Chain A
Amino acid sequence: MPEVRVVNVAKKFDKILAVDNVSLQIHDKEYFCLLGPSGCGKTTLLRLIAGLVEPDKGEIYIENRLVNSVPPEDRGIGFVFQQYALFPHMNVWDNVTYGPRVKALGKKASKDIGREMLEMVKLFERLDAFPSELSGGMMQRVALARALAAGSKLLLLDEPLGALDAKIRNELRYELRKFAKDLELTGIHVTHDQAEAMAISDRIAVMRKGKILQIGTPQELYMNPQHIFVAHFIGESNFLEGYISKRTEKELTIELRGGLFVSTSDKTHKEGDKVVIAIRPEVLTVEKGEKRRTNSIFGQVEGFRFEGTNVRCQIRLENGDSVLIVRPALMTEWFNIGEKVTVSFPAEKSFVFSYPEKGLKRELALE
Chain B
Amino acid sequence: MAHSGITKFLDSASSKSSVRYALYLGSITFFFALILIPPILGIVLKWNSMAETLRDPSLMSRATAAIYASFAIAIFVSVIDVVAGLPTAWLVARGRSRWLNVLDTFVDIPFIVPTATLGYSLLLFWSKPEGISSLFGGSLVSPGWLLVILLHFAFSYPVVVRVMVGAILDYKREYEEAARTLGAPPLTTDRTVTLPILKPSLIASFTLAFARSVSETGATLMVAGAFENGPIFIKNARDLGYEGPLVFVSFILIVISCAIFATIRLLGSRLKMPLRNVWPVAERKLSSSSVTAVRNSLSLFVFLLLVLIPSLFVALPAFLAMTNGTINQAVRGVGVWQGYWQSLILSYSVGFVVTMLNTLAGLPMAVLIARKRVRTTLSSILDVLVNIPLIVPSIALGTSLSIFWKSVAFIPEIGLLTFAHLSITYPYFVRSMAAAIERVNVDYDNAARTLGGRPFTVFRTIILPLTKYSLFAGAIMVFTRSVDETGATLAVVTQLRTAPVLLVEWVKGTVQATPLDIGLGCAILVLLSFIILLVSRLLVRGRY
Contact = CB atoms under 8 A, between A and B. Distances in A.
A103 B281 CA distance: 10
B76 interface: no
A84 to B, nearest CB: 8
A142 to B, nearest CB: 12
Contacts of A77: 181
B178 A103 contact: no
B230 interface: no
A72 B180 contact: yes
B280 A87 contact: no
Interface residues of A, number: 28
B280 A104 contact: yes
Interface in B150-190: 172, 174-175, 177-185, 188
A72 B177 contact: yes
B196 A99 contact: no
A79 B183 contact: no
A147 B181 contact: yes
A52 B192 contact: no
B178 A87 contact: yes
Nearest to B184: A102
A85 B183 contact: no
Interface string A341-362: 0000000000000000000000
A79 B174 CA distance: 11
Contacts, number: 73
Given A81-B177, A85-B177, A98 B197 contact: no
Contact of B185 (A73, A83, A101, A146): A73
A253 to B, nearest CB: 55
State the main secondary structure of chain B at its contact with A.
helix
B183 A150 contact: yes
A73 B182 CA distance: 6
B50 interface: no
A345 B185 CA distance: 60
Contact of B184 (A83, A98, A146): A98
Nearest to B185: A73
A73 B180 contact: yes
Contacts of A104: 278, 280
B193 interface: yes
B289 to A, nearest CB: 11
A90 B199 CA distance: 14
A289 B142 CA distance: 107
Contacts of B179: 87, 98, 102
Nearest to A90: B275
A230 B227 CA distance: 79
9 contacts: A50-B181, A71-B180, A73-B184, A83-B174, A85-B174, A87-B179, A88-B197, A102-B179, A150-B181
Interface of B: 172, 174-175, 177-185, 188, 192-193, 196-197, 199, 275-276, 278, 280
Interface of A: 50, 52, 71-74, 77-79, 81, 83, 85-90, 94, 98-99, 101-104, 146-147, 150, 156
